[in-house]
Amino acid sequence: MPIRRGLTPHGFRHTSKKIAQSLRTPPKLMDGLTEAWEAALAARRAMCHTSPVRALDVLLRGGR
């Protein structure tokens, strides 16, 4: 999915959730994916707080 200029991490999560709901993704699966994403981001942040990839860098520096 392309990332739109000005799209915030919050906006991206909201959009992703709406897409998953429209595809009738079970809520339990969506929750599990969110937990996995948060854990992966925390592990990446523990290694380094920055990234040359702008979207990841924003998330690592405190955007969620």
Mean pLDDT for the chain? 84
Look at the pTM and tell me if it is higher than 0.75: no
What whole-number distance in Å separates Cα of residue 26 and Cα of residue 8?
25
What whole-number distance in Å separates Cα of residue 8 and Cα of residue 46?
22
Percent of the chain with pLDDT over 90: 30
In this prediction, residue 59 carries a pLDDT of: 86
Q: What is the DSSP string of the chain?
A: -PPPTT--HHHHHHHHHHHHHHTT--HHHHHHHHHHHHHHHHHHHHH-S--SSHHHHHHHTT--
